[in-house]
Structure 1
Amino acid sequence: MIDAKDRLIIEVLQGGLPLVPSPYARVAESLGMDEQALLCRLAELKARGVIRRIAAAPNHYKLGMTSNGMTVWDVDDSQIADLGAHIGGLPFVTHCYERPRALPDWPYNLFAMVHGKDRGEVEEKRAEIAGILGSACRGKDILYSTRILKKTGLRLKPKGQTPCSA
C-alpha cells in the first residue's frame, strides 16, 4: 500500500522527469518537499516493489530500429522460468514474459520483443533465441509491428477522478 504522498509522487513522475539539470530537485520543489526526502521515498518505493525503475524510454524508430518483432515460443513448462530469465537478459530483448497458452489456437507461453534495423536483423536475433531454447521449444512464431499503438506504462488517475470525468 502507498500513502497519499507516495501516490502524489507517482502521479507527478509517471509523465517523466523534466529535462533540466536537476530533475529530482525540480520535482521535489513541485511537491513541496526536499530533494533528499524525495530520493529517500523513491528508494523505499523501489525496495518495496511499488516501482521497478525510473528509466529513459528511447524511441527505437528514431534510433533506426524500424523492424520490431514479438517472438512467441511454446516452451516446456518445467523449463520456462530458467529459460525465460535467460532470454530476458539478452541485450537485444526489450521485454520478455510468460503468458498462459490459449489452446488449441495459441500454444505459445513465452514472449520476447526484439528490434532491428530490418527484418533480417530481427530474424538473426530470433535464431539466437531459438538456439538457447533448444529442445525445450516445441513451436515458435513472430508477430511484426506495423505501427506504434502505445508507448506508456501504467498511469494512475489523480485521486477523485473517475473514468467519466477524465
Structure 2
Amino acid sequence: MDDAELDRRIVLATQAGLPLSTTPFAALSEQMGVTSEKIISRFSAMQKDGRVRRIAAVPNHYALGFTANGMAVWDVDDELVDAFGRELGQLKCVTHCYRRPRHVPLWPYNLFAMVHGRDREEVLGHVAEIRSLLGDACRAHEVLFSTAILKKTGLRIDPDARPGQRARKD
C-alpha cells in the first residue's frame, strides 16, 4: 500500500483517539498490520506537512473535578497580543489561548483564554492573577462562563469516501 493510503488508514484508525495502552503505537501496529516505526514515521510526515497538528492527551477536566470554565477575553495592544498569548498559554489554569479579531465597537477583545477551576471563585481568582500579569497593557476584560457542555470532536473522515470524492448530500 502506498503512503497516501496508509495515512488515510492511520487517520481513520485514530480519529476517535489512540488505543488506551502504555504502548499505543504498538497496539495500533498490531491492529493495522504495520510496524509501529512506520506509523510513527507517517504521523511525523503528516505533522510536518500540516495534515496533523499535534498528537496529545486530552484529559476530561470535568472528571478531574474542574467543573468551572470561563473564557476570559482581553483587550490588549495588538503588538503585545502574541507575547501575552504565549505567556498565558503556559499557565496551568489555561487550556486554550487564541488571538481573535476585534469587532469594534461591540467587541474590543483580541486575546481569548479558557480558564479552568473547581468553581467560579477559583476561575475568577485565576483571572485576577492574569489581569495583574497583563498590567497596563490590558484595557478591559470579561469572563464568559460555560452554561452547557457540548461534545467536542475534531474532523471525522467518512470511511467510505475516496480522495477527490464530493461529500454526500443526505
TM-score (norm 1): 0.88
Deviates more, 1:72-81 or 1:20-29: 20-29
State the superposition RMSD in angstroms: 2.0
> Residue deviations 1:35-86, cap 9 Å, x none?
2111221223234443232222111111111111000011110111111111
Q: CA deviation at 1:4?
A: 3.0
* Secondary structure at the counterpart of residue 3 of structure 1: helix
Cα distance change on mapping 1:77 and 1:21 into 2, 3 Å: closer
Deviates more, 1:81-90 or 1:20-29: 20-29
Cα distance change on mapping 1:48 and 1:118 into 2, 3 Å: same
* Secondary structure at the counterpart of residue 164 of structure 1: coil
Aligned to 2:127: 126
Q: CA deviation at 1:133?
A: 1.2
Task: Give the Cα separation in 1 of the matches to 2:25 and 2:130.
Answer: 38
- Stretches of structure 2 that go unaligned for 5 or more consecutive residues are none
| Superposition pairs of residues 115-154 of structure 1, within 5 angstroms | 115-154=116-155
Q: Does 1:38 align with 2:43?
A: no
Aligned to 2:169: 164
How many residues get paired? Answer: 164
Return structure 1 stretches of 4+ with deviation > 6 angstroms: none
* Secondary structure at the counterpart of residue 72 of structure 1: strand
Aligned to 2:106: 105
Task: Give the Cα separation in 1 of the matches to 2:53 and 2:84.
Answer: 22
Task: Give the Cα separation in 2 of the matches to 1:51 and 1:80.
Answer: 26
Question: Which amino acid in 2 is paired with 1:18?
Answer: P
Task: Give the Cα separation in 2 of the matches to 1:112 and 1:97.
Answer: 7
> Residue deviations 1:76-120, cap 9 Å, x none?
101111111111111211010001011221111110001111111
TM-score (norm 2): 0.86
Q: Percent identity?
A: 51
| Superposition pairs of residues 34-113 of structure 1, within 5 angstroms | 34-113=35-114
Task: Give the Cα separation in 1 of the matches to 2:12 and 2:80.
Answer: 38
Task: Give the Cα separation in 2 of the matches to 1:134 and 1:21.
Answer: 43
* Secondary structure at the counterpart of residue 97 of structure 1: strand
- Stretches of structure 1 that go unaligned for 5 or more consecutive residues are none
